[in-house]
Amino acid sequence: MVVDCAEYCEGRRVANVAIENVREVLKKSDRFIWIGLHEPEQAMLKTIQLEFNLHELAIEDALRAHQRPKIEAYGDTLFIVLRTVHLQDNRVEFGESHIFLGSNFIVTVRHGHSSGYAEVRARCESTPEMLRKGPAFALYALMDAIVDQFFPVIEFLQEEVTDMEEKIFHEKYRRDVTTRIYRLKRQLMDVKRAVSPLIDMCNRLLRFDLKVIDDAARPYFRDVYDHTIRINEMLDSSRELLSTALEANLSMISISQSEVSKRFAGWAALIGIPTMIAGIYGMNFQFMPELTWRWGYPLVLVLTTVICIVLYIRFKKSGWL
């Protein structure tokens, strides 16, 4: 459950720390703690709550997960919920990251399909002059990494939209195309729900009412904000293209059905001519002068054939056959 727990001083990793010794480290004004947890049990979170004096409601959310992205302030501690995303076997998988941020600590709790933050921690440790800014800079690095995970996912979804457009205009109508469009539309909506709240969250982190965020680290969240705006614009563009593709698909279906209806009507007209003539001479009236005429039968056959050929040529030219 405990992926990593380290003590930092002046932006440099000093030592690994056991959870039960965290309180002693927090007494030092020039140190801060960075703890990474993965799907911890209730007992572990209870220990974390006691060590860092965290609010019980935030701990409850971190235990149950399945929370919407949000940022909440509990005294001098921030509780942040972020949705993570990544591709697995060409499928979009979601996870959650819960972050507790204080003036001298940061605790991350991962749930579900979420890659670890070892690389993020390593990048921060490689730039001690930046990590010297404290837990707020670690929060920026985590949020920046989470937001950057959305770009390859959106690029994948955009390629799917492009492929869908080609199938609509270059292939015959198939039921699975409509199914794929709705499935892709749902995926874009899920990603949109995960990203949209980040705009308000970044705006709040940029304000000066959150004392936990140091003034030196505050400008870095503007970079996260810019990336979030870009992702939202890409999502809106993809959703608009997909809606247009869906309308085009429905239009192509209507056109295809119209073509089939015209063909049915054309063949019905061709079959209707001999049927009508045969019906007239099959009424068995006693006095029908053509019935006793020697050339009546050949003439009717020739006339029926000529009419059918003329109609076939006309329908063929007009595109009904």
Report yes or no on 140 lying in a domain. Answer: no
Report yes or no on 178 lying in a domain. Answer: no
**Total tally of structural domains belonging to the chain:** 2
Domain boundary among 56, 89, 121: 121
Report yes or no on 65 lying in a domain. Answer: yes
Separation CA 99–CA 64 (nearest Å): 14
Local structure of residue 100 (DSSP, 8 states): E
Report yes or no on 27 lying in a domain. Answer: yes
Question: What confidence score (pLDDT) does residue 296 get?
Answer: 76
Domain boundary among 121, 145, 180: 121
- Which residues are within 8 A (CB) of 234 and not within 5 positions of it... i.e. 6 or more apart? 154, 158
Domain boundary among 102, 121, 140: 121
For residue 93, list its beta bridge partners.
86
- 86: domain CATH number is 3.30.460.20
Separation CA 282–CA 148 (nearest Å): 80
Kindly report the pTM of this predicted structure.
Answer: 0.76
Task: Name residues of the chain where pLDDT drops below 70.
Answer: 114, 170-175, 208, 285-286
Q: Which two tokens stand for residue 49?
A: 């709550």
Q: Which two tokens stand for residue 283?
A: 């009424």
* pLDDT tens-digit series, residues 221-236: 899 999 999 999 999 8
- Whether the Cβ atoms of residue 6 and residue 17 lie closer than 8 Å to each other: yes
Angle, alpha carbons 244-245-251 (nearest 5°): 90
Report yes or no on 33 lying in a domain. Answer: yes
Report yes or no on 239 lying in a domain. Answer: no
Domain that holds residue 295: 258-318
Report yes or no on 202 lying in a domain. Answer: no
For residue 110, list its beta bridge partners.
38, 97
Question: What confidence score (pLDDT) does residue 174 get?
Answer: 64
For residue 2, list its beta bridge partners.
37
Separation CA 66–CA 149 (nearest Å): 19
Report yes or no on 194 lying in a domain. Answer: no
- 268: domain CATH number is 1.20.58.340
Separation CA 251–CA 177 (nearest Å): 13
